[in-house]
């Protein structure tokens, strides 16, 4: 697992996809019927924090993969966030996280990119992350974060710098998939040619093992707003300003 803070010269990765098409059923009691990506944290949509963080790190071309109430997301977020250009990949049917990524990423071209879940926030040096993956020859990079109880997430077991397995529902402390990835062009081309599938369950889990997924540990301040309890907790978190 890579936790080096070494400054690596090299490419600057400027493109990202944010997966934000979910219905947010678990949050209905606190956000109503609005899309999860528009859930307000201290008066701002969670997506606005993600976009601001990407822009501050030089990621200036972002595609939002949207489905549920897509027009509402587009009207609220728009096509610019500071220096970040925003485009949209609108699903014509629910495609899951994997199908949504495939639809959004493949038309873009032969370029590495970051992929983020739209309902989690974690701090890391994205450019360092990408360069470490590039230097290691990793097809996929996965940012990992420590939690006290991983039962809601995919726990990562690692050997050196490589993720050897991903397993859901692993209780107790450990490292989990934080929902931030670096994807090489080869990895994006390898996404299954299927209309709908899960990025974690149907793609990443199968590639853990060997040298398919690099684990990156230099992360902090992981926040998941996916449940009412965590969403309420985020309203009092000083990391959101």
Tens digit of each residue's pLDDT (9 = 90 or more) over 163-206: 999 988 788 999 999 999 999 999 999 999 999 999 999 999 99
Instruction: Tell whether 241 is covered by a domain.
Output: no
Q: Return the H-helix or E-strand segment holding 178.
A: strand 174-183
Instruction: Tell whether 152 is covered by a domain.
Output: yes
Instruction: Tell whether 164 is covered by a domain.
Output: yes
Instruction: Tell whether 129 is covered by a domain.
Output: yes
pLDDT for residue 8: 52
- What domain range is 98 assigned to? 15-234
In order along the chain (241 residues), what is the average pLDDT of each group of 10 residues? 48 93 83 91 95 97 96 97 97 94 89 95 96 96 94 90 90 94 96 94 92 94 89 88 79
Instruction: Tell whether 133 is covered by a domain.
Output: yes
Q: Which residues contact 237 (CB under 8 A, 6 or more apart)?
A: 223
pTM: 0.93
Q: What does the longest C-alpha to C-alpha distance in the chain come to?
A: 47
Instruction: Tell whether 1 is covered by a domain.
Output: no
pLDDT for residue 74: 97
pLDDT for residue 108: 82
Instruction: Tell whether 240 is covered by a domain.
Output: no
| d(C-alpha 90, C-alpha 121), whole Å | 23
pLDDT for residue 107: 85
Q: Looking at residue 131, which CATH number applies to its domain? A: 3.90.550.10
pLDDT for residue 7: 46
pLDDT for residue 27: 86
- Give me the number of domains the chain comprises: 1
- Nearest Cα to 219, choosing from 37, 5, 18? 5
Instruction: Tell whether 179 is covered by a domain.
Output: yes
């Amino acid at each position: 697992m890579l936790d080096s803070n070494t400054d690596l010269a090299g490419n600057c990765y400027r493109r990202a996809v944010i997966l934000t098409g979910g219905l947010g059923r678990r949050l209905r009691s606190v956000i109503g019927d609005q899309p999860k990506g528009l859930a307000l944290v201290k008066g701002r949509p969670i997506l606005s924090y993600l976009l601001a963080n990407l822009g501050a790190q030089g990621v200036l071309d972002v595609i939002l993969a949207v489905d549920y109430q897509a027009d509402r997301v587009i009207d609220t977020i728009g096509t610019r966030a500071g220096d970040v250009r925003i485009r949209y990949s609108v699903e014509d049917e629910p495609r899951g996280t994997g199908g949504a990524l495939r639809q959004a990423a493949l038309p873009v071209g032969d370029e590495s990119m970051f992929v983020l879940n739209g309902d989690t926030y974690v701090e890391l040096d994205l450019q360092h992350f990408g360069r470490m993956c590039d230097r290691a020859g990793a097809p996929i990079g996965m940012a990992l974060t420590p939690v006290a109880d991983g039962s809601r997430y995919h726990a990562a077991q690692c050997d050196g710098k490589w993720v050897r397995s991903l397993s859901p529902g692993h209780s107790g402390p450990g490292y989990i998939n934080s929902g931030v990835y670096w994807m090489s062009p080869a990895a994006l081309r390898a996404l299954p040619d299927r209309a709908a599938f899960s990025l974690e369950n149907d793609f990443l889990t199968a590639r853990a093992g060997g040298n398919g997924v690099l684990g990156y540990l230099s992360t902090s301040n992981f926040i998941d707003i996916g449940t009412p309890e965590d969403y309420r907790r985020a309203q009092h978190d000083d990391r959101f300003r």
